[in-house]
């Protein structure tokens, strides 16, 4: 996983986001899947960030380390809650069918009774997600990034 500092172009909000790779960020941004969490703008770019420098004493990327400094000041309760949330999402994903980019069509078909009722997960553009919600299809974004098997760094 790679953590990028991102910035929304219209308002200048800076936020962090996790991606499987730099290519994954570019692909998701091009599909309209990356939005500013503060204002919802889809105009997002990478913000300047300090590089990770290899010292020869461990991984160059702090995010790859289990003792990541990103959460080093967080209370143990916060770390435990994040770990529990990630574990719950992992279990839900294991118990659901990955439908990839067909998510909007599959979710709509299930909602209308045209397809077998089952838990699914996949990808949808912001416009597709908004359309599903407008139609009353119950969907929700996943709180943690999903890395499909074989796509890990």
- pLDDT for 51 equals 55
- pLDDT for 16 equals 84
Q: For the stretch 19-43, what's the b/e string if a residue is b when 16 or more beta carbons lie within 10 angstroms of its beta carbon?
A: bbeeebbeebbeeebbbbeeeeebe
Q: What is the pLDDT of residues 41-94, one digit of tens each?
A: 889 998 876 555 444 444 444 343 344 445 555 577 777 888 888 888 889 999
- pLDDT for 47 equals 82
On the 0-12 / 13-18 / 19+ scale of CB atoms within 10 A, 148 is: exposed
Chain-wide mean pLDDT for the chain? 80
Q: Read off the pTM.
A: 0.51
């Amino acid at each position: 996983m790679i953590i990028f500092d991102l910035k929304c172009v219209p308002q200048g909000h800076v936020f962090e986001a996790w991606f499987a790779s730099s290519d994954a960020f570019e692909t998701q941004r091009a599909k309209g899947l990356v939005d500013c969490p503060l204002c919802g703008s889809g105009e997002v770019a990478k913000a300047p960030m300090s590089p990770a420098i290899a010292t020869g004493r461990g991984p160059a990327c702090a995010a790859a380390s289990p003792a990541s400094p990103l959460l080093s000041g967080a209370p143990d309760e916060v770390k435990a809650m994040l770990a529990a949330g990630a574990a719950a999402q992992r279990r839900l994903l294991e118990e659901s069918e990955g439908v990839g980019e067909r998510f909007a069509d599959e979710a709509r078909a299930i909602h209308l009774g045209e397809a077998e009722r089952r838990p699914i997960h996949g990808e949808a553009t912001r416009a597709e997600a908004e359309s599903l919600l407008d139609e009353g299809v119950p969907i929700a974004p996943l709180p943690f990034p999903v890395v499909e098997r074989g796509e890990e760094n």
